[in-house]
A and B are shown apart, each in its own frame.
Chain A
Amino acid sequence: MTTSASHSSNTPVSNWLAQRILQLRIAILLLFAVLLAAAAVFVPQFRIDASADTLLVKNNALYIKTQQANQRFSPDEFILVAYKPRNGEIFSNTTFTDLTWLREQYLALSRVQSVTSILTVPLLSDASVLTSDADVTELTWQKQQFSPQQMQQMLSDHPIFTDLLINKAQTATALQIVFKPDPELSALEQEILAVQQNSLQRPLTADEEQQLEQLQQQAAPLRQALVKQRQQELQQISHINQQVAQQAETFTGGAYVVAQHLVDIISSDLTVFGSAITGIIAVLLLLLYRSIRWVLFPLLACAASVWLTLGLFAVLDIRATVISANFIALQLILTLAVMIHLIATYREVARNNPDHSQQQRIISTLQQKLAPCFYATITTSVGFGSLIFSGIQPVVAFGFMMLIAMLITMSVSLLLFPALLSLLKANTETDDFAFITAGLQATRRLVERAPWACIVMVLLLFSLLLPGLMRLNVENSFINYFASDTQMYQELRFIDQEFGGSTPLDIVINLQPEDSDSNLLLSAKQFNQLHVAHAAVAAFAASGNVTSLVNFTTLARQLNDDKPLTEYELNSIYRLLDEKVASQLVGAYLSDKPLQARISTRIQDTTAGLDREQLMQQLNQDLQSVGLTPQQYSLTNLFVLYQDILSRLFDSQIKTLGLVYLAMAILLLLIFRSVKIAVIALIPNVCTTLGILGLIGWLGIPLDIMTITIAAIAMGIAVDDTIHFVHNYLKAPRGQALQNSFAHTGIAMLFTSTVIAAGFAIFGFSSFLPSVYFGLLTAAAMLMALAADLTILPALLSRFVQPAASEKA
C-alpha cells in the first residue's frame, strides 16, 4: 500500500492494529460472546419511559412550581368523552338514555372515581337553594327527571358547564370521567416535591440528591404501571363508546389523552420501525451485493451493537423516551453505514487480489479503512454529542444515549465485524453494478472538466434554500404531533374546539393578605382581583374553558335575580357547605394557607394563527395591567412548560449547530493536518446543514425537540462520507486521484447514503409527525450531503489540493 506523507503517522498504527485485530480474532469473538451473553441478562430490564413528561424539562423552577400548584389544588385527573348525536338533538330522551348507560359502563372501570354529565350535575333555576337548607345534590336530572326543554333552558350559557359538559352550539355533550389518584404514588410525589422545592432557594445537597434518586426509583414502576393502566382504560372506553355508535359520534380527549396517544404511537413505532428498517436494510444489501453473506453478516453486526447497547442502557438505567425511542433505528442505520464502507473496500481488495487469503484481504481492508472508519464514527458521535449542550433535557439525554451507542457501534464494526469476516471463506466477489460505476464516473468527468461551474451551480442551488432560514418557526403543540388525517387528531381537535381546549394553563394568584377581613375567608377586594384576572385570561381567543371561583359567583348572580353576592353572602355560602362538598366544589380553585386562587384554562391548540410566545407575553402584560405584580401570580402547568421549551429551541438550534461546526472543524484539522483541507471538507457539510434548515423553513415545518436535532445529526453522519472521500483522494496516486476516489469511495458513499436515506424515510409512515419530519428530513439531508460530496467536494479538491502522493514525488 502506498504510504503518504500526511498520513505517515496514521498508517503504521493502522497496520499494526489491523494485524493485532486479526491475530486476536478468536479472543475478540470470545469477548463479544461473553458481552452479548451478559447483555442478555440485562436487556429484559431495559425500560421505555414513554410518558409525555419526558418531553419536558423537569429540573427547573417552572416544573417545580407546576408540581407545587398541582399538589396544593390537586385538580382531578379527568378525560372527556364527547357525545354528538347524529340527529343533532342533545336534549332528547334517547341522548339521556345513552348518557346514563355510558356513565354506568365507565363507572364499572376500576380506577374511575366518578363520571359527570349534564344528567348528574345539580341544575338550579334560582338562588334560594344556595342559602336554604335544600339539598343541592337532589337537583339533578337523575333525581328530578327534568324534561328535555327544562334541561335546555337550564344549561344554555351555563357559566360552569358550557364548554365543559356541553358545547356552545349545543350539538354535543360531554361526559367527564374522573379518575382516582394512586395514594402511594401521590405520597411519593409529595416527598419528591418536598425535596425538589429546596432547589428553588439553594442547590441540593448530596444527601438530598441521593434521597431524590431513591424516591424517583420507587416512583418509576408506579408511573409505568399508571401509563399502562391508562392505555387499557382508553381501549376499554373506546370499546364502550362503540356501543352507541349508531346514535352518536363520540370523541375522546383531554390533557392526558394526548399524552397517552403519544406513548402508544411511540412504543409501536419503536418495534414497527425497528423491524421495518431491518427489513429494508436486508433487501437493499441483497440488491446491492447479491450475496447472502453480505446480508447476514452486516445484520448480525447491527443486531450485536443494538443488543449490547440495550444491555448497557439497562445496566446504567438509561431509559428510552419519546425523543430517544428512535435510537434503535438510528443505531442500526449508523452501524450499517460503517460496515458498507468496510465491505466496499473488502470487495475491491478481493477483486483486485483474487489470490489473497481471507486474512490478507481483511488486513488490507483494515489498513485502508481503520483510520477513516474510526474518524467517521468519532465525527458522528460528535454530532450527537453536541446535543448534550442543547440545554433541553430530553434532547440532552438523547445526545448522551447516542454517544454511548456510537462508541458501541465503533467497537462492533471495527473489532467484531472483521473478526467475524475472518471466519468466512475467501469467495470471489461480484462486480458492482455497471450503471452505478458509469454514473459515478460521468459525474467525475463533469467535475473535472468544469470544477468552477460545478462549485457555483451547487452553491447557487443551496443558496436558494437559505431564505427558508428566515421562515423557521417554533409554533407547535401536542395535537399537531399527530397527522391531521388520523382518527386521533380528529377526536382531539373536536374536544379542543368544542369542549374548551387541550393544553392546560394555570394562573395561580396570591391574594393579598392586607385586603383580607378577619370575618371572611375571602374579601370582595381579594375576590375581584381574581375576577379581573379571570376576565383578562378569558379574553384571549385561544383560551378554552376558563374556570375559577368566578364561574360559581357568576352563576350565583344569575340565579340571584342578576344581583351580585355580597362578600358576606359568599362567605356564608362557603361556610354552609359541608367540608367535603366545599373541597370538591372549590378546592381546586382556592387554597386556604397560603391564600391562593387558581384560574384554570386549557389553551385551544387548533386556534388558527396562534402565536404562543405572543400569548404568554400579552397574558403577562395584561395580568400586570389589571393590577397584579409579577410576585403576586405565577403561570404554571403544561402550556408554560412546553412553551418554555419552544422558546429555547432557536437558541438551542444555534448553539448545537455552532458547536457541531466548531467540533468538526477541529476534528477535520486533527485528521487532515491542514487548514485548507479542513475548510474544504467542511464546506459541503455546512451547505447540507444550512440547506436542510432552509428546507424546514420553506416547508413551514415547525422546529420542535425532534426537528432541531436533525441538522446536528445530519452533519455528524454526512461528514463520514466526506472523510472517506478526502482520505481516499489524498492517498490516491497523482493524476488519478479523482478517478480513484470516485471508483473506490463513490460506490460506498452512494450505498451508505441510499441505505441511510431509505432507512430514515421509513419514518415517513409514522403517525407521530415529529418522527415523520425527522425521518424524511434526515433522508433529504443524506441525499443533499451525497450530492455535495460528489460535486462540490471533488471540484474543490481538484482545484486546491494535490494528492499527497504527488507532493512527495
Chain B
Amino acid sequence: MTSNTTLSLILLLLLSGCASQPQTPPEDTPAPITSQSTDDSANAELTASEQLSSGKTATIETSQGKIEIEPTVVDMAERAPATGEEQAQQYNDPLEGWNRGTFAFNHFTYTYALIPLAKGYEYITPAPVRDKIGNAFSNIREPLSMLNNLAAGELKDAGTNLGRFLINTTIGILGLFDPATAWFDLPEAKQSIADTLAGYGVAPGPYLVLPILGQNNVRGSTSVVSEYLLDPIGQVTNPPDTYYLQGVDAVDSFSDRARVYEELYRQAEDPYLYFRNQFLQGVKRDDHFSQPQQ
C-alpha cells in the first residue's frame, strides 16, 4: 500500500514535470490559464464573434446600448489581435505519430473486444442494475475525490465527498443507491487529479493517446495512471478481485459511450483528428471556465 502511494507520487511528479516543460510554441502553454481576464485592450482588435469563439465574454455596441454576450460555443483558439487569424498550433500534438498508431490499435480493440463486451454487459444487466453498479463505482471513487479536493484546497467539496461517502456507503447500501443527493442535498463534487493539477496551473501538455485507456494529455494521463494506482478499490480489496471490479467499472462507463464512439467515428472525415480536436478543445475549455473568472 505504501509502496503504491510512493510510486504514484514519484510518477506524478515526473509526469507533471514533463508537462510543464514548454516543448511546443510558447504561446500555447501558459496562455489559456494565465490570460483569463477579458481585457478590453487585448480584445479590441478582435471581432465580437472571434472573442466569443476564443471563450471570452464579448461586448457589442448596438443602437439599443451595450450588450454583453457570454459564449455558448467555443473553439478556444488563440487569435492574434491584429489579424484575427487563428494561430497555428491550436492543437498541441507533437506525438502525432505515436498517437495515430495507438488510436488505430485502440479502435481495433474497441471494435472487436470492448464494444462487444460492453454490449454483452448491457444485454445481461438491466438498466436499473447498471445504474446501481454505476452508483457503487462513483461511491468508491469518493475518497479519491476528497483527497483531490483537499489537495486543491476545496475544503467544502472535500467535506461533501466525505459526507457522500459515509451516507451512501451506509444508508445507500455500499453505494448502490444515492441518498446523499436525493435526501441530503449533497450533489457530487467529483475532482480528479487532473482537475487538481489544472487548478495549480499545470499545463495540459501535449496530446497523448494511451493504449485501451484512450486519449488524454500528459496531465490527464498522469491522472489516469495515478488514479489507477491510488484507486480506492485497490485499497479495499486485493487482487485478483481488484482487477475484476476495475474491469466492471471500465465496462460500465464504456457501455454508455460505445454508441457515441461508433457513431462519431463513422461520420468523421478523419476520426483521429476529430477525436483529438474535440478532446483538446474540451480540455482548454474546462481549464478556462473552471478558473474563477476575474
The residues of A with any CB-CB pair to B shorter than 8 Å are: 131-133, 518-519, 523-525, 527-529, 531-532, 535-536, 539-541, 550, 553-554, 556-557, 562-570, 572, 575-576, 618, 621-622, 625-627
Question: Contact between B60 and A532 (Cβ–Cβ < 8 Å)?
Answer: yes
Q: Which residue of B lies closest to A134 (CB)?
A: B256
Question: Contact between B69 and A566 (Cβ–Cβ < 8 Å)?
Answer: no
Q: How far is the CA of A622 from the CA of B61 in the complex (A)?
A: 8
Question: Contact between B48 and A532 (Cβ–Cβ < 8 Å)?
Answer: yes
Among listed B10-18, B37-45, B145-153, B278-286, interface-contacting one = B278-286
- How would you classify the secondary structure of chain A's contact residues: helix, strand, loop or mixed? helix
Other-chain contact of B73, A527, A540, A572, A622 (Cβ < 8 Å): A527
Q: Is B269 an interface residue (CB 8 A)?
A: yes
Q: Is B277 an interface residue (CB 8 A)?
A: yes
Question: Contact between B286 and A563 (Cβ–Cβ < 8 Å)?
Answer: yes
Q: How far is the CA of A782 from the CA of B285 in the complex (A)?
A: 73
Question: With a CB–CB cut-off of 8 A, which chain B residues contact A131?
Answer: 260
Other-chain contact of A518, B55, B72, B269, B285 (Cβ < 8 Å): B269
Other-chain contact of B75, A518, A554, A567 (Cβ < 8 Å): A567
Question: Contact between A572 and B264 (Cβ–Cβ < 8 Å)?
Answer: yes
Q: How far is the CA of A572 from the CA of B290 in the complex (A)?
A: 22
Q: How far is the CB of B110 from chain A (nearest CB, A)?
A: 16
A–B Cβ pairs within 8 angstroms, 9 of them: A523-B75, A525-B75, A531-B52, A532-B49, A539-B65, A554-B72, A567-B53, A569-B278, A618-B64
Question: Contact between A528 and B260 (Cβ–Cβ < 8 Å)?
Answer: no
Other-chain contact of B62, A536, A550, A575 (Cβ < 8 Å): A536
Q: How far is the CA of A566 from the CA of B277 in the complex (A)?
A: 10
Question: Contact between B50 and A539 (Cβ–Cβ < 8 Å)?
Answer: no
Q: How far is the CA of A651 from the CA of B263 in the complex (A)?
A: 59
Q: How far is the CA of A576 from the CA of B261 in the complex (A)?
A: 10
Question: With a CB–CB cut-off of 8 A, which chain A residues contact B289?
Answer: 562-564
**6 new A-B contacts at CB < 8 Å, known A531-B72, A567-B74:** A524-B52, A557-B70, A564-B285, A567-B53, A572-B278, A618-B64
Q: How far is the CA of A131 from the CA of B274 in the complex (A)?
A: 16
Q: How far is the CA of A562 from the CA of B286 in the complex (A)?
A: 11
Other-chain contact of A553, B73, B263, B269, B285 (Cβ < 8 Å): B73
Question: Contact between B67 and A556 (Cβ–Cβ < 8 Å)?
Answer: no
Other-chain contact of B47, A132, A554, A627 (Cβ < 8 Å): A627
Contact flag A566-B278 (CB < 8 Å), given A626-B60, A627-B49: yes
Question: Contact between A528 and B53 (Cβ–Cβ < 8 Å)?
Answer: yes
Question: Contact between A566 and B72 (Cβ–Cβ < 8 Å)?
Answer: no
Q: How far is the CB of B6 from chain A (nearest CB, A)?
A: 34
Question: With a CB–CB cut-off of 8 A, which chain A residues contact B185?
Answer: none
Q: Which residue of A lies closest to B259 (CB)?
A: A133
Q: Is B273 an interface residue (CB 8 A)?
A: yes
Residues from 36 to 92 in B contacting A, C-beta threshold 8 Å: 47-50, 52-53, 55, 58, 60-65, 67, 69-77
Question: Contact between A575 and B264 (Cβ–Cβ < 8 Å)?
Answer: yes
Question: With a CB–CB cut-off of 8 A, which chain A residues contact B3?
Answer: none
Q: How far is the CA of A721 from the CA of B273 in the complex (A)?
A: 85
Question: Contact between B264 and A576 (Cβ–Cβ < 8 Å)?
Answer: yes
Question: Contact between B278 and A568 (Cβ–Cβ < 8 Å)?
Answer: yes
Question: Contact between A563 and B53 (Cβ–Cβ < 8 Å)?
Answer: no
Question: Contact between A568 and B277 (Cβ–Cβ < 8 Å)?
Answer: yes
Question: With a CB–CB cut-off of 8 A, which chain A residues contact B70?
Answer: 557, 564
Q: How far is the CB of B123 from chain A (nearest CB, A)?
A: 14
- Going nearest first, the 9 A-B pairs with the smallest beta carbon separation are A568-B278, A528-B49, A524-B75, A553-B72, A566-B281, A618-B63, A539-B64, A622-B62, A528-B52
Q: How far is the CB of B137 from chain A (nearest CB, A)?
A: 15
Q: How far is the CB of B195 from chain A (nearest CB, A)?
A: 12
Q: How far is the CB of A379 from chain B (nearest CB, A)?
A: 48
Question: Contact between A572 and B282 (Cβ–Cβ < 8 Å)?
Answer: no
Question: With a CB–CB cut-off of 8 A, which chain B residues contact A566?
Answer: 73-76, 278, 281-282, 285
Question: Contact between A531 and B49 (Cβ–Cβ < 8 Å)?
Answer: yes
Question: With a CB–CB cut-off of 8 A, which chain A residues contact B65?
Answer: 539
Q: How far is the CA of A659 from the CA of B134 in the complex (A)?
A: 82
Question: Contact between B260 and A565 (Cβ–Cβ < 8 Å)?
Answer: no
Q: Is B267 an interface residue (CB 8 A)?
A: yes
Question: With a CB–CB cut-off of 8 A, which chain A residues contact B259?
Answer: 133
Question: Contact between A531 and B256 (Cβ–Cβ < 8 Å)?
Answer: no
Q: How far is the CA of A556 from the CA of B269 in the complex (A)?
A: 25
Q: Which residue of A lies closest to B279 (CB)?
A: A568
Question: Contact between A532 and B58 (Cβ–Cβ < 8 Å)?
Answer: yes
Q: How far is the CB of A314 from chain B (nearest CB, A)?
A: 51
Other-chain contact of A557, B61, B63, B72 (Cβ < 8 Å): B72
Q: How far is the CA of A503 from the CA of B224 in the complex (A)?
A: 55
Q: Which residue of B lies closest to A530 (CB)?
A: B49
Q: How far is the CA of A569 from the CA of B75 in the complex (A)?
A: 10
Question: Contact between B73 and A524 (Cβ–Cβ < 8 Å)?
Answer: yes
Q: Is B268 an interface residue (CB 8 A)?
A: yes
Question: With a CB–CB cut-off of 8 A, which chain B residues contact A528?
Answer: 48-50, 52-53, 71, 73
Contact flag A539-B67 (CB < 8 Å), given A563-B289, A566-B75: yes
Question: Contact between B72 and A621 (Cβ–Cβ < 8 Å)?
Answer: no
Q: How far is the CB of B20 from chain A (nearest CB, A)?
A: 24
Question: Contact between B63 and A621 (Cβ–Cβ < 8 Å)?
Answer: yes
* Chain A proximity mask over B245-275: 1 for CB below 8 Å, otherwise 0: 0000000000010011001100111100110
Question: Contact between A567 and B281 (Cβ–Cβ < 8 Å)?
Answer: yes
Contact flag A535-B67 (CB < 8 Å), given A519-B269, A554-B72, A567-B73: yes
Question: With a CB–CB cut-off of 8 A, which chain B residues contact A518?
Answer: 269
Q: How far is the CA of A576 from the CA of B77 in the complex (A)?
A: 25
Question: With a CB–CB cut-off of 8 A, which chain A residues contact B63?
Answer: 618, 621-622
Question: With a CB–CB cut-off of 8 A, which chain A residues contact B60?
Answer: 532, 535-536, 625-626
Q: How far is the CB of B239 from chain A (nearest CB, A)?
A: 31
Q: Which residue of A lies closest to B270 (CB)?
A: A519
Most chain-A CB neighbours within 10 Å: which of B62, B69, B264, B290? B62
Q: How far is the CB of A124 from chain B (nearest CB, A)?
A: 15
Q: Which residue of B lies closest to A615 (CB)?
A: B63
Question: Contact between B274 and A532 (Cβ–Cβ < 8 Å)?
Answer: no
Contact flag A529-B267 (CB < 8 Å), given A564-B74, A567-B75, A625-B62: no
Most chain-A CB neighbours within 10 Å: which of B52, B72, B286? B72
Q: Which residue of A lies closest to B79 (CB)?
A: A525
Question: With a CB–CB cut-off of 8 A, which chain B residues contact A554?
Answer: 72
Other-chain contact of A556, B58, B72, B274, B278 (Cβ < 8 Å): B72
Question: With a CB–CB cut-off of 8 A, which chain B residues contact A524?
Answer: 52-53, 73-75, 77
Q: How far is the CA of A523 from the CA of B73 in the complex (A)?
A: 9
Question: With a CB–CB cut-off of 8 A, which chain B residues contact A132?
Answer: 256, 260
